[in-house]
Structure 1
């Protein structure tokens, strides 16, 4: 009986010290992979608010045909001609089940278009599947966690 309680206590302690990736936070830096070219495109820093919602802003441009400091030329409103680095491009993603978020918005600065967004963190905690849709036309990307 005593061995079982010691074993149970050790299991709880190990789980507390080494949390599984599933249930991991999406907070941090993510490398976006262009869904059209398959090449790394930018680094997005994701932040999870206390209510579980996600937002993301561009912190680095890795590849652009507009140079190292591109502007959002095709964006409308307050984002028009603003630098893409520092721009919030993902917002209001709401938690939906385990490691999934939905009903947010994502901006593609190169096209100046916004899409309804959803995201799902893989069990390994190292990849994030992000998709955006306009009506029935959807685009998906796999983002890789930065070390």
Structure 2
């Protein structure tokens, strides 16, 4: 087959879309302070703090650090930590909330071969990665 015909044929065949490895499940945060349960939330995937394993001394039971004063009385337990996550092919992208400072960051989450999650929180191009392990 001539090279030009092969190029036309390959252009007519759509590329296969890849899906990210599913991330649903229960995971212990890197610091061991809590368990985040990840699953479907409408048209996206989200994660909520479903178990507090280690309460920091003097830490409030509500979202006191939230920049939105109307949200400061919501309980920490059940708090949405991961929101608006969508499958981006090789990973999941959305937003992560840190109740310790009340800030939300862009986030990238990917499941590792060993079942752990690589959880990144990013400001511009600067990202910090944590490893969350499956909860037992």
TM bucket by the smaller chain?
A: 0.7 to 0.9
Mark the runs of 5 or more structure 2 residues left unpaired by the alignment: 1-19
Indicate conservation of the 8 Å contact 2:97/2:104, yes or no: yes
User: What does residue 127 of structure 2 align with?
Assistant: 138
Give the Cα–Cα distance (whole angstroms) in 2 for the partners of residues 111 and 73 of structure 1.
Answer: 9
Paired position in structure 2 for 1:107: 97
Cα offsets for 1:7-56 (capped at 9, x unmatched): xxxxxxxxxxxxxxxx763222110013xxxxx111000003575x3200
**TM-score in terms of structure 1 length:** 0.69
Segments ≥4 residues shifted beyond 6 Å: none
In angstroms, what is the RMSD of aligned CA positions?
2.2
User: Contact 2:92/2:109 (CA < 8 Å) preserved in 1?
Assistant: yes
What TM-score results when the alignment is normalised by the length of structure 2? 0.74
The answer for the alignment partner of 2:116 in structure 1 is: 127
Is the radius of gyration larger for structure 1 or structure 2?
Answer: 2
- Structure 1 runs not aligned, ≥5 long: 1-22, 35-39
Please say if residues 128 and 144 of structure 1, whose CA atoms lie closer than 8 Å, have aligned partners that are also in contact. yes
1:90-105 to structure 2, matched below 5 A, reads 90-98=82-90, 100-102=91-93, 104-105=94-95
Structure 1 CA distance for aligned equivalents of residues 113 and 56 of structure 2: 34
